[in-house]
Amino acid sequence: MSLSKSKIVQQFNRAASRYDRFAELQGNISADLVKAVDAYAEPQKSTIEIADFGCGTGTLIKALADLGYQHLFGFDIAPMMVEEAKRKCPPDVSFGCGDIESLAAQDNSFDVIVSNAAIQWCQSEKAFSEINRTMRTGGRAFVCTFGPQTLKQWQDAFSFDGGCRVHTFETSDQITSSINRAGLKLLSIETQLIDVSFTSVSAMLDSVRRIGATNAQQTSETKPISRSDYQAMKARFQDTLRNEGKLTLTYEVISIVAEKK
C-alpha cells in the first residue's frame, strides 16, 4: 500500500477546525485509551513520560493532563492539527509536527506511547519500528487503529466503477506481523465491530469527509468520480435510508497493547 503523505497532510489540515464536532467515534475510542493508560501508569503519574503519536486536536493528551499527568508530548503530521491541540492543552505539553514513521525524537525517550486512529495512515511496520525506537525498554504502547471491515458500506456503494474509493486497512494478522518485525512484544490484540447509525445521507457522508478520513492511497487506476456517479451513489444510500429507517457505517476497531523487550 502506497500512501500520499502530502494528501494526508492536506486532508487533516482542512479538517482540523471542525474535527472534534464530527469525530464522535474517535473521541469514544480516545476515552477508552485514556482509561487503559491510566490503569497502567497512574502510580507514576508525576514522573512518567507519555507521547501521543498522531495526536490530532489533542483530545487524548488533554484528558491525560486533566488526570494530573505532567510529562506529555504530542506529534502529528498535520500542522493545523498541532495548532488546534496547542490551543486545547495546557502550555506545558510539548508538541511536534512530524510523520509517525520518522519522528524528530531521540531514542528511548518515552515510557508510554499511545496512538488513536493514526497508524492506518502509515506503513505499519515503519510506525511500530518508530514506536520501538523511541520507547524505553520495558515501556508500553497502547494503540487503536482500524481494520478492513471499516466503512464496508462505502466500499460496496463505490464498487460499481471498480476504483479504490475507500482506504485499504490492514488486517489484525498483518498488524501482528508488523509488530513482531518491528521488535516489539505483542501483549494483546483485540478486534471489535462498531456500527454507527445516521438519519440522513449528508450526516453519514460528513462523518467521514469532515474529519479528513478519505482515501489517501496513491493509485493511478482510480479516476475522480463523476458527478452523475456520485449522485447515483447518494441515491442508493437514500433508498437504504427509506427502506431501513437508518444508515449504518461499520468500523472495525483493532486495539493493541505492546511492550518494548
User: For the residues 230-249, what does the mean pLDDT come to?
Assistant: 90
Say what the pLDDT of residue 217 is: 54
Reported confidence tier of residue 72, pLDDT bands at 50, 70, 90: very high
Say what the pLDDT of residue 157 is: 78
User: For the residues 85-97, what does the mean pLDDT come to?
Assistant: 97
User: For the residues 160-186, what does the mean pLDDT come to?
Assistant: 86
User: For the residues 252-257, what does the mean pLDDT come to?
Assistant: 98
Q: Measured between alpha carbons, how far is residue 117 from residues 212, 214, 215, 216 in Å? A: 12, 13, 14, 14
Q: Which residue has the higher pLDDT, 204 or 2?
A: 204
- 216-230: per-residue pLDDT in tens? 554 534 566 678 877
Q: What is the DSSP letter of 217?
A: B
> What DSSP string describes 36-97?
HHHHHHGGGTTT-EEEEET-TTSHHHHHHHHTT--EEEEEES-HHHHHHHHHHS-TTSEEEE
Reported confidence tier of residue 163, pLDDT bands at 50, 70, 90: low
User: For the residues 239-255, what does the mean pLDDT come to?
Assistant: 95
Which CATH number fits the domain 5-148+169-195+253-260, given the four candidates 3.40.50.970, 3.40.50.150, 3.40.190.10, 3.40.50.720? 3.40.50.150
User: For the residues 83-94, what does the mean pLDDT come to?
Assistant: 97
d(CA 12, CA 23): 12
Domain ranges of the chain: 5-148+169-195+253-260
The pTM score is: 0.91
Say what the pLDDT of residue 4 is: 84
Say what the pLDDT of residue 134 is: 98
Long-range contacts of 172-177 (CB under 8 A, 24+ apart): 172/147, 172/254, 174/124, 175/119, 175/124, 175/145, 175/254, 175/256, 177/125
Q: What integer best gives the mean pLDDT of the chain?
A: 90
Q: Is 14 helix (H, G, I), strand (E, B) or coil?
A: helix
User: For the residues 147-174, what does the mean pLDDT come to?
Assistant: 80
- 12-65: per-residue pLDDT in tens? 888 888 888 888 899 999 999 999 999 999 999 999 999 999 999 999 999 999
Reported confidence tier of residue 164, pLDDT bands at 50, 70, 90: low
Say what the pLDDT of residue 215 is: 58
Say what the pLDDT of residue 221 is: 46
